[in-house]
Copies of this chain bind each other. A is one copy, B any other.
Amino acid sequence: MCIASRLSPDRGATLSHVASPTAALRFSAGDRDQIGKTAGELIARMRRHGAGPGGSVTRLVYTEPWQAAMAELEAWFSEIGLEVRTDSVGSRFGRLAGERTEVVMSGSHVDSVSSGGAYDGVLGVIMAACAANWLAATQGEPVRSLEVFAGCEEESSRFACNFWGSRALAGLVEPGEPGRLADSEGVTIAEAMRACELDPGRILEARRTDLAAYVEPHIEQGAVLEEAGDLIGIVDRVVGVRGLQVSLSGVTGHAGTLAMANRRDALAGAAEIVLGVERVGRSRGVPTVATVGQIEVLPGGFNQVPGLARFTIDFRHPEDEVLGQLDGELRALIARVAAARELEAQVSQRLRQPAIRFDDRICAALEEACLDAAVAWRRMPSLAGHDAQVIGRLCPAAMLFVPSRGGVSHRPDEETRLPDIVSGIEVLARALFRLAYLR
């Protein structure tokens, strides 16, 4: 937590006496009630689209629940006076036209993971629209145009094409992708787009050159804010992610007749590495994470000593230099275990996303908004990837996190408390005011 963030209401009141252009922007108690009610209703309405067992939400891009969710958002954008537009990949934009055509954009994605919850992604769209609505009502026309962004296929939960909507904005979709990438049932992106009356031949038209700034509100997906008692995370970096695919070969044998001393058990080796990965992740401390998420063994019989184990390692850190060190430690671990157990190890890199720094000016605008609103905040890295890291290639960008209860995400029980959402909208509105309304 930032020291400046531990403000008492009095001290907050004092601060607002400073000649801040946004001093008048504090939400009234009535504003908080009204905005909380609107946001709560929208969350409930959106979670019906793709509702599954136990409160889960499965809203995969270009499916019917996704189309219905996009249509409902569109209707709501119109209702609150935003001018609606759909781009060539199906992302929606709700525009509050300003004096200038350059655009300050805010929002997130509408697609979910399979059996996810009601907050990841879509809450950012709802927060941005609530903020834009409040700004339009209280501040009128902005200097720069303000747009709410409702993007598509950030999660990679239907197609292996994550950041699809934001990559289209940045002109980063490769020509072959729509025809090449297929979902688990063999439907390609191109086919799925056509089923939504979108033309895969026009993807390049989604490219934007008019963006001046992007702020993405999102649930934290971790427990840092909750544990620290902070309400806002100002995300100034995205961790780098690396992925290794490991294959360990030993010797298969009969579980009865192959004596313990003669075994070259691939799973036992993999188990040693799984624990080593955990140790590497823990010993480096926060924010390092290292995970073995997939494992399979062959031949896989109950009474057979595994001769082959294949598994993945995902590791993340905000500093590329540390990522390189982690990579070295993990590869040394694998080599050490393989040598000690006479196994043959093959390691290949399956993912390498460098760490990303967000824009200082956008972070500063968010920081000032937190100071103005007198909420407890902290600067922090994002430990997951987000559209903002792609849109950040087009224009200055940063993110704002609101707390996730229990640090839970990608699960039916993910939740952000409504008062925290309203505080997030207030901070976002103040920041967007600074970015879109000040000359």
| Binding stretch for chain B, among A4-12, A191-199, A403-411 | A403-411
Residues on B with C-beta less than 8 A from A222 are 254, 257-259
In angstroms, how far is the closest chain B Cβ from the Cβ of A356? 13
A260 contacts B275, CB within 8 Å?
no
Contact of A259 among B223, B275, B294, B304 (CB under 8 A): B223
Report the Cα distance A254→B156, complex, angstroms: 14
CB proximity to B under 8 Å, residues A264-305: 265, 267-268, 270-272, 274-275, 278, 281-282, 286-297, 300-305
Given contacts A257-B384, A411-B252, contact A302 B243 (CB under 8 A): yes
The chain A residues found within 8 Å of chain B, CB to CB, are 220-224, 239, 241, 243, 252-262, 265, 267-268, 270-272, 274-275, 278, 281-282, 286-297, 300-306, 312, 314, 316, 350-351, 382-385, 407-411
Given contacts A268-B275, A274-B267, A274-B268, contact A257 B221 (CB under 8 A): yes
In angstroms, how far is the closest chain B Cβ from the Cβ of A386? 10
In angstroms, how far is the closest chain B Cβ from the Cβ of A323? 13
Q: A255-B314, A260-B290 are in contact. List 13 more A-B contacts (CB 8 A).
A: A220-B257, A221-B256, A222-B254, A223-B262, A252-B410, A252-B411, A253-B411, A256-B382, A259-B289, A262-B407, A271-B274, A293-B297, A294-B302
Report the Cα distance A287→B259, complex, angstroms: 7
In angstroms, how far is the closest chain B Cβ from the Cβ of A42? 24
Looking at A271, A290, A409, the one whose CB has the most chain B CB atoms below 10 A away is A271
A257 contacts B407, CB within 8 Å?
yes
A294 contacts B300, CB within 8 Å?
yes
Query: Can you show 21 pairs from A to B with CB atoms below 8 A apart?
Result: A222-B254, A253-B408, A253-B410, A253-B411, A255-B291, A255-B293, A255-B314, A256-B382, A259-B287, A260-B278, A260-B289, A265-B278, A267-B292, A268-B275, A271-B274, A272-B275, A291-B304, A292-B306, A293-B305, A295-B295, A302-B314
Given contacts A259-B224, A272-B275, A281-B260, contact A301 B293 (CB under 8 A): yes
Residues on B with C-beta less than 8 A from A267 are 274, 292-293, 295
Given contacts A286-B261, A305-B293, contact A256 B410 (CB under 8 A): no
Q: Chain B residue with minimal CB distance to A283?
A: B260
Residues on B with C-beta less than 8 A from A409 are 253-254, 257
Report the Cα distance A260→B292, complex, angstroms: 12
In angstroms, how far is the closest chain B Cβ from the Cβ of A307? 9
Q: Chain B residue with minimal CB distance to A287?
A: B259
Q: Chain B residue with minimal CB distance to A223?
A: B262
Looking at A239, A252, A292, A385, the one whose CB has the most chain B CB atoms below 10 A away is A292
A257 contacts B304, CB within 8 Å?
no
Residues on B with C-beta less than 8 A from A385 are 256
Q: Chain B residue with minimal CB distance to A384?
A: B256
In angstroms, how far is the closest chain B Cβ from the Cβ of A80? 31
Report the Cα distance A303→B294, complex, angstroms: 9
